[in-house]
């Protein structure tokens, strides 16, 4: 099973807030060395200070980089590090009617949520296959299981992440490399603020519980982690009894 071992290197994208930031804190407590990538230098600096208070012994690098700009340049920047685990977390969403949205925002969302994630997974899965150890956590969303009006492009990108991750999990098993899809529901992060959504505090999971569940599931070799009982039931029951057409009609009233 792909245990996080003290002294291993973990690359975390989207690490300057939310789920990525929480992964950094919890893995630092386990003694793992971290490369944290995000776009907000000020927040990265604060995270660096916080982690050094948690553990002064781990090796820690922070990199401010827009992964949608030049993935090859980024990979060249970190080429000297032996990455053991990838937390493929960078991504964002936008809420509203599809025709009201900016096409440039949609294209960038596809670039970050799909192309960047795929590029990093491709690069590191090849390296991990040679070592025959380690793994990848791709962060999707429960939104990827359903056709959600007003989250049209975001939900579609996360559907890709889910299907891609499950297929890659099956392919990488023979190399002793574990791939897991993390599909959280509503989580207390800055995501909804950035996605232009207000009053979304109901039924949100605490981010530390989401990440704690994810780490446990990953170390148990689970291919899919859906944190929270409500989210698990929604996935299990609704997908079995409802058509996509019915789901869309219901969800448009709630999103």
Alpha helices in 85-228 (DSSP H): 103-110, 117-131, 152-172, 191-194, 207-219
Whether 218 is catalytic:
no
How many angstroms separate the CA atoms of 182 and 60, rounded?
Answer: 24
In whole angstroms, what is the distance from residue 168 CA to residue 185 CA?
A: 22
Dihedral sign, Cα of residue 120, residue 105, residue 89, residue 177:
negative
CA atoms within 13 A on the CB side of 228: 21
Catalytic residue among 25, 81, 106, 154: 154
Q: Cα torsion at 56, 59, 62, 66 (round to 10°)?
A: -150
* CA separation for the pair 31, 29 (Å, rounded): 5
Residues with a catalytic annotation lie at: 154
């Amino acid at each position: 099973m792909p245990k996080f071992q003290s002294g291993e290197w973990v690359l975390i994208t989207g690490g300057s807030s939310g789920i990525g930031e929480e992964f950094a804190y919890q893995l630092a407590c386990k003694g793992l060395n971290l490369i944290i990538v995000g776009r907000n230098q000020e927040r990265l600096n604060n995270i660096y200070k916080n982690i050094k208070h948690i553990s002064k012994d781990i090796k820690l690098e922070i990199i401010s980089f827009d992964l949608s700009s030049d993935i090859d340049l980024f990979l060249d920047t970190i080429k000297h590090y032996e990455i053991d685990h990838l937390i493929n977390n960078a991504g964002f969403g936008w809420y509203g009617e599809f025709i009201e949205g900016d096409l440039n925002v949609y294209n960038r969302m596809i670039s970050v949520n799909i192309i960047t994630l795929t590029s990093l997974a491709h690069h590191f899965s090849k390296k991990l296959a040679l070592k025959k150890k380690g793994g990848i956590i791709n962060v999707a969303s429960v939104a990827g299981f359903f056709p959600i009006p007003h989250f049209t492009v975001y939900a579609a990108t996360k559907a890709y992440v889910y299907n891609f991750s499950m297929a890659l999990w099956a392919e990488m098993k023979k190399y002793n490399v574990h791939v897991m899809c993390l599909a959280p529901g509503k989580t207390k992060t800055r995501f909804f603020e950035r996605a232009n959504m207000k009053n979304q505090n109901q039924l949100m999971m605490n981010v530390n519980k989401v990440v704690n569940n994810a780490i446990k599931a990953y170390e148990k070799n689970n291919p899919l982690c859906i944190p929270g009982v409500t989210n698990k039931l929604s996935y299990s029951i609704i997908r079995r009894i409802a058509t996509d057409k019915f789901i869309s009609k219901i969800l448009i009233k709630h999103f």
